[in-house]
């Protein structure tokens, strides 16, 4: 397969004035008739008329009304065209029913829908399918379906047809069409300038009752973007459609967002607090793309972080404003370390703006999204809130309607602040997580921090230059008082010292407050200092971080030399859990332990070979010790944080439930599941029901509840996904692969639905000790299923291959078995480009 390079970018030889598409819908033989007005692009050096096209049957093509015979090539067609404006017309036939890859136009439960990002439009018609070719679209849909939707504003409609006009020039990846027997949850929104917008969430009949929360989240997002970024919605209508078969979470198509049903449907009985929060965040994310992604799009796919990093950053700001800022930050950092740090420190490491790819679908990664958002957070920290707001105003003013680049983005900051951001740009260009080593000295009232930064080599990048790193820091006196409030140090050198004078005694530093940069901090510390910060730090992130470091070091000692649970940790964390002045959601997070993957990474970084079973044993031992020690407190917390009011998915109630359920986890380890059974029997919402089921499974008392749960929810596909996952996640490592195998034989298991596949095989990969089982059975089961899935859905297969990305951390036996599984996948004839690229990179 061909590698594409950022350095080879060339503008397309033609611009498009107008696109008109007619769809004659038929499940197996849909006809697409395109009429496109092209004109030569004065900016382009070449005039090669190549249109992308895949899996299309060309019926005819015309230029200015005269039939032409283009040359059909792999991936598209070429044609001789006039050296002036001309009209291209073509008719193609496509087969939505046979499209199981879920890219282009496909069918899900009898409904037509599309997914065009990144390169799916070329499976709909011949077109320059690249994000820098933007055009206004007119669409006519012909078919008997009750509802027929496309981008933009509605035009004429009548018996068997509907027309749509999208006045805003857009790239093809934002095209969307939906048609089927759908029902809507309607509402309206008045924009800041007083325009009235029709809002709809379209769902399958039966799902109407699960739309209200999503609609409130949409209106809140629209208002927030006006209030905080001054961005107003720009069409008369905004439609969201829920689709069951979808490769990712959701898609920001202009005026017609399409959502994985798991990311928009929500009701108290069927959705957990976590599901509600996710729905709110994803609705906001897709809506925010209207400005950061759609009105200003990317010049090419290397610039993906331009829209994704910024939009993730904006949706995190929104969630912080709607809920708790510290809880959101801590949760995001947990996810960043689990997914992005792992990526950055393994064979798949790549810069936030990659320089080459084979298959762009493989670059929708934690690095592009989450590290891309961290980079924007650092920029904001460095220039300050006011300058950030000014720069964003200029960005929208200068680049509205553009297909922009990271250079354009950084230039607005340079122009508004006068700063030189060339060193900052390294964050976009260099892969790998920087390590910042910290030493401190104290003499005669002067405290000095000595910092040293380095980034290990990553594939294709052996040498790294020093980056500018904003390090937020505060200093605490030995009595716990803050003597230096938070200030941001700008580290620009490989080695740099920062001096604080006039201190009465040696302070305790609180470094990297709020996790002000995505780096690994290396500093010698001891239990006493960590317990001190856990008790006194005014920065909630570092307070949590101190507890996390205590837990991690205690666990590492248990794993390495069979030490018992660390009393310093248990005492300190109990004090936090006991402190009713602290937010219950924060306390629930503080009670959590580092994950298997975190611990494996720490061991690996320190030069040890992690043993997944030993890590699992240590975690179990510590959880059991914690449960035993905190029984009284857990009983008190469980009673105290029961929510008496009717269920609401707000931050306050969900925080209380999170703490009560953490307490239930501890109680169940001691009472054998008696209280969990009671909660299960009385639960009137999914958060309570699922937490109880989880405790019952852990206590080995889940059999009856598992059957009852299935009987109760067998009609609800999203709840049954939870049923598949939970049994695998809670399985003992020795049984995880077998439980997975058994569940793949269940009549409700299907490979065609990505949610169900992820709920099953994805859950196996998340049962880390089970997946990395010394027998190799976890690797074998996953490889078998990925081989089966690849011809059906390459995109989902390739994403799930990332489960193997840490294989080189483990012992020789495991490495050999993982290598065998990867080689078996690679040896498949006709393996997709997506999976070939992914496995090749992972294999190394």
| Residue 247 CB, nearest approach to ligand HT7 (Å) | 4
Alpha-carbon torsion 818, 819, 822, 823, what sign?
A: negative
- Stretch 340-379: interaction string toward ligand HT7, x if CB under 6 A: ------------------------x---------------
Stretch that binds ligand HT7, among 47-55, 246-254, 324-332, 438-446 (CB under 6 A): 246-254
| Beta carbon nearer to ligand HT7, 308 or 837 | 308
Stretch that binds ligand HT7, among 113-121, 530-538, 558-566, 702-710 (CB under 6 A): 113-121
Alpha carbon distance 439, 449 (integer Å): 6
| Residue 590 CB, nearest approach to ligand HT7 (Å) | 31
Identify whether the C-beta of residue 484 lies closer than 8 Å to the C-beta of residue 507: yes
Alpha carbon distance 124, 32 (integer Å): 7
Single out the residue of 252, 553, 566, 716 in contact with ligand HT7 (rule: CB under 6 A): 252
Alpha-carbon torsion 69, 72, 76, 80, what sign?
A: negative
The helix-helix angle for 584-591 and 540-561 (nearest 10°) equals 20
Tally Cβ neighbours within 10 Å of residue 110. 11
| Beta carbon nearer to ligand HT7, 131 or 547 | 131
| Paired tokens of 523 | 């500093």
| Beta carbon nearer to ligand HT7, 115 or 760 | 115
| Beta carbon nearer to Zn ion, 311 or 755 | 311
Out of 138, 142, 163, 286, which one is annotated catalytic? 286
Give Cα 137 to chain centroid, integer Å.
30
Alpha carbon distance 752, 491 (integer Å): 50
248 contact choice in ligand HT7, Zn ion, none (CB below 5 to 8 Å, kind-dependent):
ligand HT7
245 contact choice in Zn ion, ligand HT7, none (CB below 5 to 8 Å, kind-dependent):
none
Single out the residue of 308, 545, 716, 721 in contact with ligand HT7 (rule: CB under 6 A): 308
Alpha carbon distance 576, 588 (integer Å): 10
Single out the residue of 285, 350, 536, 548 in contact with ligand HT7 (rule: CB under 6 A): 285
| Residue 252 CB, nearest approach to ligand HT7 (Å) | 5
Stretch that binds Zn ion, among 311-319, 472-480, 537-545, 662-670 (CB under 5 A): 311-319
| Paired tokens of 50 | 């190549």
Task: Establish whether 286 is a catalytic residue.
Answer: yes
Stretch that binds ligand HT7, among 198-206, 244-252, 410-418, 481-489 (CB under 6 A): 244-252
| Residue 104 CB, nearest approach to Zn ion (Å) | 20
251 contact choice in ligand HT7, Zn ion, none (CB below 5 to 8 Å, kind-dependent):
ligand HT7
**How far lies 558's CA from each of 51, 444, 550, 568, 574, in Å?**
60, 40, 12, 14, 20
| Residue 253 CB, nearest approach to ligand HT7 (Å) | 9
User: By CB under 6 A, is residue 267 in contact with ligand HT7?
Assistant: no
Alpha carbon distance 141, 157 (integer Å): 9
Alpha carbon distance 321, 310 (integer Å): 17
User: By CB under 6 A, is residue 117 in contact with ligand HT7?
Assistant: yes
Stretch that binds ligand HT7, among 5-13, 243-251, 540-548, 829-837 (CB under 6 A): 243-251
Tally Cβ neighbours within 10 Å of residue 639. 10
Q: Angle CA(748)–CA(753)–CA(754) in degrees, nearest 5?
A: 125
| Paired tokens of 842 | 């992972």
| Residue 260 CB, nearest approach to ligand HT7 (Å) | 7
User: By CB under 6 A, is residue 115 in contact with ligand HT7?
Assistant: yes
| Beta carbon nearer to ligand HT7, 243 or 821 | 243
User: By CB under 6 A, is residue 286 in contact with ligand HT7?
Assistant: yes
Place of tokens 């059975």: 777
Residues whose CB is less than 8 angstroms from the CB of residue 751 and which lie 6 or more positions away in sequence, other chains included: 757, 785, 788, 789, 792, 793
HEC letters along 127-172:
ECCCCCCCEEEEEEEECCCCEEEECCEEEEEECCEEEEEEEEEECH
Q: Angle CA(120)–CA(407)–CA(404) in degrees, nearest 5?
A: 35
Give the count of residues interacting with ligand HT7 (CB under 6 A): 13
| Beta carbon nearer to ligand HT7, 611 or 837 | 837
Q: What phi, psi does 505 have (nearest 5°)? A: -150, 170
User: By CB under 6 A, is residue 725 in contact with ligand HT7?
Assistant: no
| Residue 404 CB, nearest approach to Zn ion (Å) | 16
| Beta carbon nearer to ligand HT7, 118 or 383 | 118
User: By CB under 6 A, is residue 251 in contact with ligand HT7?
Assistant: yes
**Given strand 482-491, what is the order of strands in its sheet?**
482-491, 469-476, 508-511
With b for 16 or more beta-carbon neighbours within 10 A and e for fewer, the 339-366 pattern comes to: bbbbbbbbbbbbbbbbeebbbbbbbbbb
| Beta carbon nearer to ligand HT7, 115 or 806 | 115
Stretch that binds ligand HT7, among 266-274, 283-291, 478-486, 835-843 (CB under 6 A): 283-291
| Beta carbon nearer to ligand HT7, 660 or 751 | 751
| Residue 369 CB, nearest approach to Zn ion (Å) | 7
Identify whether the C-beta of residue 183 lies closer than 8 Å to the C-beta of residue 202: yes
User: By CB under 6 A, is residue 248 in contact with ligand HT7?
Assistant: yes
Alpha carbon distance 596, 663 (integer Å): 21
| Residue 653 CB, nearest approach to ligand HT7 (Å) | 28
Residue facing ligand HT7 at closest CB distance: 248
| Beta carbon nearer to Zn ion, 352 or 618 | 352
| Stretch 25-54 residues interacting with Zn ion (CB under 5 A) | none
Which residues of this chain interact with Zn ion, rule CB under 5 A? 308, 311
Which residues of this chain interact with ligand HT7, rule CB under 6 A? 115, 117-118, 247-248, 250-252, 285-286, 289, 308, 364
Q: Which residues carry out catalysis?
A: 286
């Amino acid at each position: 397969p061909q590698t594409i390079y950022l350095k080879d970018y060339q503008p397309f030889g033609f611009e498009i004035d107008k696109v008109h598409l007619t769809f004659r819908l038929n499940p197996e033989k849909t006809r697409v008739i395109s009429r496109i007005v092209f004109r030569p692009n004065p900016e382009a050096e070449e005039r090669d008329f190549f249109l992308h096209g895949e899996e299309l049957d060309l019926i005819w093509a015309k230029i200015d009304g005269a039939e032409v015979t283009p040359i059909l090539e792999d991936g598209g067609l070429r044609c001789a065209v006039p050296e002036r404006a001309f009209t291209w017309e073509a008719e193609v036939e496509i087969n939505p029913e046979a499209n199981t890859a879920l890219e282009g136009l496909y069918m899900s439960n009898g409904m037509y829908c599309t997914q065009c990002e990144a390169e799916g439009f070329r499976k709909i018609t011949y077109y320059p399918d690249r994000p820098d070719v933007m055009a206004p679209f007119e669409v006519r849909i012909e078919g008997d379906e009750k509802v027929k939707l496309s981008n933009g504003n509605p035009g004429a409609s009548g018996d068997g047809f509907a027309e749509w006009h999208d006045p805003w020039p857009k790239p093809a990846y934002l095209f969307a069409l939906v048609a089927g027997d759908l029902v809507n949850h309607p509402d309206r929104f008045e924009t800041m300038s007083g325009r009235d917008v029709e809002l709809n969430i379209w769902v399958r009949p039966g799902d109407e009752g699960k739309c209200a929360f999503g609609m409130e989240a949409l209106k809140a997002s629209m208002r927030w973007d006006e209030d905080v970024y001054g961005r107003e919605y720009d069409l008369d209508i905004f439609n969201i459609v829920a689709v069951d078969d979808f490769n990712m979470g959701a898609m920001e198509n202009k005026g017609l967002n399409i959502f994985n049903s798991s990311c928009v449907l929500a009701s108290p009985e069927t959705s957990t607090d976590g599901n509600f929060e996710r729905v709110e965040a994803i609705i906001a994310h897709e809506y925010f793309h209207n400005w950061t992604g759609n009105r200003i799009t990317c010049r090419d796919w290397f610039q993906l972080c331009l829209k994704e990093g910024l939009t993730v950053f904006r949706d995190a700001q929104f969630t912080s404003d709607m809920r708790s800022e510290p809880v959101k930050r801590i949760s995001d950092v947990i996810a960043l370390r689990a997914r992005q740090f792992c990526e950055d420190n393994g064979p798949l490491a790549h810069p936030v703006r990659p320089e080459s790819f084979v298959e762009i679908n493989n670059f929708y990664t934690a690095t592009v999204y989450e590290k891309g958002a961290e980079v924007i957070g650092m920029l904001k920290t460095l220039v300050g809130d006011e300058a950030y707001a000014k720069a964003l105003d200029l960005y929208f003013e200068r680049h509205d309607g553009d297909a922009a680049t990271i250079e354009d983005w950084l230039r607005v900051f340079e122009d508004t602040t006068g700063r030189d951001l060339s060193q900052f740009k390294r964050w976009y260009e260099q892969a790998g997580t920087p390590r910042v080593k910290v030493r401190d000295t104290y003499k005669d009232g002067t405290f000095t921090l000595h910092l040293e930064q380095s980034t290990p080599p990553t594939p294709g990048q052996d040498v790294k230059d020093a980056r500018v790193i904003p390090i937020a820091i505060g200093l605490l006196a030995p009595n716990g008082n803050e003597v230096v409030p938070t200030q941001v140090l700008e580290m620009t050198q490989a080695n740099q010292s920062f001096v604080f004078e006039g201190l009465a005694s040696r302070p305790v530093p609180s470094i990297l407050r709020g996790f002000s940069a995505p780096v690994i901090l290396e500093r010698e510390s001891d239990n006493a200092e960590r317990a001190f910060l856990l008790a006194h730090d005014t920065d909630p992130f570092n307070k949590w971080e101190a507890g996390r470091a205590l837990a991690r070091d205690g666990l590492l000692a248990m794993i390495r030399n069979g030490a018992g649970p660390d009393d310093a940790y248990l005492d300190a964390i109990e004090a936090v859990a006991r402190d009713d002045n602290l937010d219950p959601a924060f306390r629930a997070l503080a009670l959590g332990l580092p994950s298997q993957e975190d611990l494996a990474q720490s061991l690996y970084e320190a030069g040890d070979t992690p043993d997944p079973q030993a890590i699992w044993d240590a975690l179990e031992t510590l959880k059991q010790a914690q449960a035993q020690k905190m029984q009284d407190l857990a009983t008190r917390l469980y009673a105290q944080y029961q929510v008496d009011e009717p269920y609401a998915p707000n931050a306050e109630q969900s925080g209380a439930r999170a703490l009560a359920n953490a307490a239930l986890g501890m109680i169940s380890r001691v009472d054998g599941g008696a209280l969990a059974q009671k909660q299960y029997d009385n639960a009137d919402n999914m958060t309570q029901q699922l937490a109880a089921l989880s405790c019952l499974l852990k206590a080995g008392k889940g059999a009856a509840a598992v059957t009852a749960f299935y009987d109760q929810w067998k009609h609800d596909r999203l709840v049954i996904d939870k049923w598949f996952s939970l049994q695998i996640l809670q399985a003992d490592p020795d049984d995880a692969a077998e439980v997975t195998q058994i569940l793949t034989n269940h009549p409700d298991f299907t490979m065609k639905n990505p949610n169900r596949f992820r709920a099953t095989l994805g859950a196996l990969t998340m049962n880390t000790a089970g997946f990395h089982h010394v027998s190799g059975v976890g690797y074998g089961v996953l490889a078998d299923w990925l081989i089966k899935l690849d011809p059906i859905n390459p995109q989902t297969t390739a994403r799930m291959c990332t489960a193997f990305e840490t294989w080189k951390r483990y012992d020789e036996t495991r490495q050999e078995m993982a290598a065998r599984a990867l080689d078996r996948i690679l040896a498949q004839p006709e393996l997709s480009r997506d999976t070939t690229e992914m496995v090749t990179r992972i294999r190394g």
